[in-house]
Amino acid sequence: MDNTIRDEIFGEITFDGLCWIKTEPVRVTVSDRTFELRTEIGSVDLVYDWKRIGKLNKEVADMIFDPSLGGLSYTLSRMEEQKALYSEVILNSDVGHLISGTVIRSFSGSNETASLREEKLGSLELSVIRVYTGRIEVGFSSDRYEKGLGCFVIKKDGEISIRPLDPEIEKLKDELRKLGFEIKEGEQRYFYACDREIPSAEKVRGMLDLLTDNEEMLFWNYYHRGGVEPGSYIYVRFAEGKPYVREATHGCSGSTKTVDMDVLAEFIIRNWDKDMDWGKYDHQVAIGPTNPEYLLDEISRIKIGTFIPDYSATPGWNI
């Protein structure tokens, strides 16, 4: 099956199961240094849309999610905003100039010499371009930037800003990839660990073992009991290496409870393919940074019960 096509704006692109990848790298020059960057298109937006449709018609969803089955024209028609932004920012403007100006303003003090500013530009290493609906992100690293890692967020008309990245989170992503999870960038502070198949208990335990007190996990709970909600959200956090969970719906939030690690792994597996939140947590969990002090304060003040899943529970909209 051939998932590679040629588009008039993006050129030759290949669908890898999560997003489109340009065959030819995009070249960006900053301070006389040219970077050849991997370019990903539609990493988040399109997958959500395909999954949402998948809840209505599995055959259509299969066609769209696997372009080789005939859904190429549909998926490309959904990318008009990405195409327009890519054309404006990448093809018809000087991205390197935009980045250079931003680095000088953000990395440098007002009294620094021109040579020192050039040195800071020389420390910049660009890594990847991601084309979303409404913005383009260019990942970078620099030992002169306070966070070490970040991305330039470029919007329509050339507005550009810097979003810092957490080095520990980036290291966690690499470890999850080694376990066999695909990593998809998300909105705000979360990213997604994805598996098109239902992962084994060993694989999910490996994922949980990687999480520290500084990260939290969020996934969909199909087996929510009570009310008319079609399910609930489960937040997983750690205190001194011990897992805790909290259930929440759009209307309320439950109490924090302890949970056995093997019980939690089984619970995640049971929910892996049962998302009813428009596909946002279908075959994936969200992971992001958290402040461990919040959980430590909570468990020091209230009595903590034990979380026991109830697989007989039926969500309100499961009719």
Let me know if residue 57 belongs to a domain: yes
Of the chain, the percentage scoring pLDDT greater than 90 comes to 41
Specify whether 154 is located in the same domain as 195: no
Specify whether 193 is located in the same domain as 288: yes
Distance CA 57, CA 118 (A): 55
Boundary-marking domain end, from 165, 184, 219: 165
Element (H, E) at 209: helix 201-210
Instruction: Give yes or no for residue 232 having a pLDDT over 80.
Output: yes
Let me know if residue 234 belongs to a domain: yes
Q: From residue 120, how far is each of 32, 76, 100, 186 by CA, in Å?
A: 13, 39, 10, 29
Contact residues for 231 (Cβ-Cβ < 8 A; gap 6+): 220, 221, 222, 223, 224, 274, 275, 276, 277, 315
Distance CA 165, CA 147 (A): 7
Let me know if residue 214 belongs to a domain: yes
Specify whether 76 is located in the same domain as 118: yes
Give the pLDDT confidence score for residue 312 in this predicted structure: 84
Range(s) of the domain holding residue 216: 168-306
Specify whether 82 is located in the same domain as 152: yes
Q: From residue 138, how far is each of 94, 166, 181, 270, 281 by CA, in Å?
A: 13, 15, 23, 36, 25
Closest CA to 208 of 272, 264, 286: 264
Closest CA to 265 of 203, 310, 182, 311: 203
Q: Which amino acid is at 132?
A: Y
Specify whether 204 is located in the same domain as 147: no
Let me know if residue 24 belongs to a domain: yes
Specify whether 159 is located in the same domain as 296: no
Of the chain, the percentage scoring pLDDT greater than 70 comes to 79
- The number of folded domains in the chain is 2
Distance CA 297, CA 123 (A): 41
Dihedral angle, C-alpha 10, 14, 15, 20, nearest 10 °:
-30
114 or 62: which leads in pLDDT: 114
Three-state secondary structure string covering 22-36: ECCCEEEEECCEEEE
Give the pLDDT confidence score for residue 62 in this predicted structure: 53
Contact residues for 238 (Cβ-Cβ < 8 A; gap 6+): 211, 212, 213, 215, 244, 292, 295
Closest CA to 298 of 290, 286, 288, 310: 290
199 or 143: which leads in pLDDT: 199
Rounded to two decimals, the pTM is 0.71
Let me know if residue 42 belongs to a domain: yes
The 10s digit of each residue's pLDDT in 178-187 is 999 988 877 6
Let me know if residue 11 belongs to a domain: yes
- Other Cβ atoms closer than 10 A to 27: 11
pLDDT confidence bin for 43, thresholds 50/70/90: very low
Distance CA 214, CA 288 (A): 9
Boundary-marking domain end, from 118, 150, 165: 165
Give the pLDDT confidence score for residue 305 in this predicted structure: 93
Boundary-marking domain end, from 165, 191, 220: 165
Distance CA 245, CA 223 (A): 15
Closest CA to 287 of 136, 196, 204, 185: 185
Angle at 38 between CA 167 and CA 161, to 5 degrees: 55
Distance CA 17, CA 215 (A): 26
Give the pLDDT confidence score for residue 53 in this predicted structure: 40
The 10s digit of each residue's pLDDT in 264-291 is 999 999 999 887 766 678 889 999 999 9
Mean of the pLDDT values across residues 34-47?
74
